[in-house]
Amino acid sequence: MATEASYDAVVVGAGFAGMYMLHRLRRVGLSARVFETGDGVGGTWYWNRYPGARVDVPSLSYSYSFSDDLQQDWCWPETYSSQEELEKYANHVADRFDLRPDIQLGTTVVGADYDEAANRWTVRTDRDDLVTARFLITAAGCLSATNVPDFPGLESFGGTWYHTSRWPKEPVDLSGLRVGVIGTGSTGIQAVPVIAEQAAHLYVFQRTPNYSLPTGNRPMDPEVEREWKARYDEHRDLDRNSYAARHVPLPAHAALDLDRDERDRIFEEAWYEGAFAMMQAFKDLRTSREANETAAEFVRRKIRATVKDPEVAELLCPKDYPIGTKRLCLDSHYYETFNRDNVTLVDVRTHPIEEITPSGLRTSAAEYQLDVIVFATGFDAMTGPLLRMNITGRGGLTLGEKWEYGPRTYLGLSIAGFPNLFTITGPGSPSVLASMITCIEQHVDLIADTIVHLDQAGLETIEATTEAEDAWVAHVNEVADATLYKYANSWYLGSNIPGKPRVFMPYTGGFNVYTARCNEVVANDYEGFALA
């Protein structure tokens, strides 16, 4: 039944951000309604149930820290959890903290308008709910607006197609079928080895090869778990004080200080350790193009040594951008998969996909007969989820108009002209460049504390000033420009979506630096915000 009601806050999304926001709002005595498109909680880990989906940050770190009982009680069976395990955890949190009564599932926010006279947000949903709230808090995730490229003929396809992020809940049996996977980002790279085991034949349509490292996932070592749990606070503090909200000690040595044999010995050890250890092997891999090239070449040599067909190996080798400047991928036997007889790599950079046909797909070079097409084609990242909400601020200005040339925020959290709107892990914050749950907790705590501050001071609204926003946008651009990220076309830059403004969206200055800046802003009486 449609709701007409008023709340202190409306929260959009019941993933890890929305759930913790609700919990914090309740703890400070505020009423809140959470709207969630999915039929379950968990956000990213509700939606991304494609074969092989797994997190790329160790679960002991990629988990809530706000409740010591929770982090002590929960046992992660593997070091890098699968989607199933993370969804189970999200559901446990929803039950444990009794969050469900305030979460409305299966409901998408389709509009949110700021009413200046009343100083309230009016929020509309696709189920005809019409609610008002003093605060609008978006917790819609950075990677939730799916991207299905506009290939001609998709509607004529006689088989079945899926986007990886909308994979069905019921098991999908691909055995005996001809399957095409379009896209070789983190998702495609995780899905391909699993699909290859089921399909009669798998065609992998690759536009840009990616660097991928072994995931390093293992069953949880009880000794490691005991040690973490005994010193959880210290581990959390180390994470919070690190560049990527995930503490990994950086060595003192630089790649270029060593000769090739010594460097390769260290890369080799890191390769077998798994995860992103290789990128932490030397202190200069993310800052020096020449040092970075030593790591890139090491990975290319691994690909050539693994993939038996030299032409296929060469096609899988990324050559035109530095390693780590597109999101680095982690895999379980991705490159080995191309040695299977039932797997074909198709180069759609040289011969682009021209159309989907009733019986498959046609590139500029050949036609492929397919029963199933899997779109592992990613997302309209960071801005997409916010723009799809149709938010209108002060004076009838829409967010789409405000962001015509790219996102503009203060701290990735607040937008001039949109009072009492908070964007958890919004563009301009570290978010996707850091361990997400740690970023979420920092934003949620800051928002909750800010609301308490407003109430204690008898204030009604908070809004970024245009000057502070301009300065922050300039700073975000300046720090991004000093990194190697600019050498790759990536979704960080919006370049995966035709027509999207090319602006580097996440903050590259480091989570620790960002947090210190937020603390300074608060200590200086919310410098850069107008409070009234």
Q: Which residues bind ligand N01 (CB under 6 A)?
A: 54-56, 143, 149, 182-188, 190, 207-208, 327, 330, 348, 353, 376-379, 432, 491, 496
Minimum CB separation of residue 383 from ligand N01 in Å reads 14
Q: Please give the Cα distance from 262 to 49 (Å, whole number).
A: 41
Measured from the CB atom, is 384 or 419 closer to ligand N01?
384
Q: 479: which 2 tokens?
A: 């720090």
* One-letter identity of residue 425: T
Closest CA to 20 of 90, 78, 81, 88: 90
Minimum CB separation of residue 338 from ligand N01 in Å reads 15
Minimum CB separation of residue 465 from ligand N01 in Å reads 32
* One-letter identity of residue 257: D
Q: What is the DSSP string of 400-414?
A: HHHTTTS---BTTTB
What pairs with residue 346 in β-bridges? 205
Measured from the CB atom, is 52 or 528 closer to ligand N01?
52
Measured from the CB atom, is 21 or 376 closer to ligand N01?
376
Q: Please give the Cα distance from 239 to 434 (Å, whole number).
A: 10
Q: Please give the Cα distance from 302 to 320 (Å, whole number).
A: 17
Minimum CB separation of residue 136 from ligand N01 in Å reads 26
Measured from the CB atom, is 125 or 429 closer to ligand N01?
429
Minimum CB separation of residue 527 from ligand N01 in Å reads 32
Q: Please give the Cα distance from 444 to 438 (Å, whole number).
A: 10
Q: Which helix (H) or strand (E) holds 206?
A: strand 201-206
Measured from the CB atom, is 255 or 348 closer to ligand N01?
348
Measured from the CB atom, is 15 or 417 closer to ligand N01?
15
The Cβ of residue 124 has, within 10 Å, a number of other Cβ atoms equal to 17
Minimum CB separation of residue 495 from ligand N01 in Å reads 7
Closest CA to 64 of 532, 324, 437: 437
Measured from the CB atom, is 59 or 420 closer to ligand N01?
59
Minimum CB separation of residue 348 from ligand N01 in Å reads 5
- Which residue is closest to ligand N01 by CB? 185
Q: 275: which 2 tokens?
A: 């995860």
Gyration radius (Cα) of the chain, Å: 23
